[in-house]
Structure 1
């Protein structure tokens, strides 16, 4: 399985299209698709791994473990550059607004 195949597989599992992952990772247009014919840079792989919440090692095929062995990820809820998930599925926007209100002590 190639790196692109792994990205497709985990993206689908997370409920994202490759275009969504590409955009959230801040890559140039169709960058991920170009990996069919060329090797991705380590920085681009890190960005995609970050979006998909997997390790670069997993994307490269060096491990079958999708988890990231580092410390838990901390994200600002106001930052729209991250795709928030629960059990691998995106949290709907209306639910995210509810969660934000709860965490902010009921304040808007």
Structure 2
């Protein structure tokens, strides 16, 4: 059973004695061009009102050094796969196209597939 990102954020805040402002500071260091996590965003995630988009989930997971799948609430290892160990996005697209006979995938679908692949890898490593 999957728990919410908000519950995972509360868990990590408790474990590391962090406040929302601490997470915002960490996330600011990992923000990407045009993508930031605001106080409102984080408050809504923590309180379970909304779930972060993929780009914001990535920033949070990078800032907290946890896997995206774990942060999303999946029953997987918390440990983050370093960026240099992750597959290149172009390689992912080629691999998916080869395995799905040229089906067209949206960026969102590719992101979801990548999350699922990470989840499966983490379960295999247990």
TMscore range, shorter length: 0.5 to 0.7
By how many angstroms is 1:5 displaced?
Answer: 0.6
The answer for unaligned runs of 5 or more in structure 1 is: 73-108
Point out the structure with the larger helix share: 2
The residue that corresponds to 2:54 in the other structure is 42
Which of 19, 38, 43 is the equivalent residue of 1:33?
Answer: 43
Alpha-carbon distance between aligned partners in 1 of 2:57 and 2:18, rounded to the nearest angstrom: 16
TM-score, normalisation: structure 1: 0.57
Alpha-carbon distance between aligned partners in 2 of 1:40 and 1:53, rounded to the nearest angstrom: 16
Please tell me whether the aligned partners of residues 26 and 64 of structure 2 are also in contact (alpha carbons under 8 angstroms): no
Root mean square deviation, CA, Å: 1.9
Alpha-carbon distance between aligned partners in 2 of 1:20 and 1:30, rounded to the nearest angstrom: 14
The residue that corresponds to 1:16 in the other structure is 18
Q: How many residues align?
A: 72
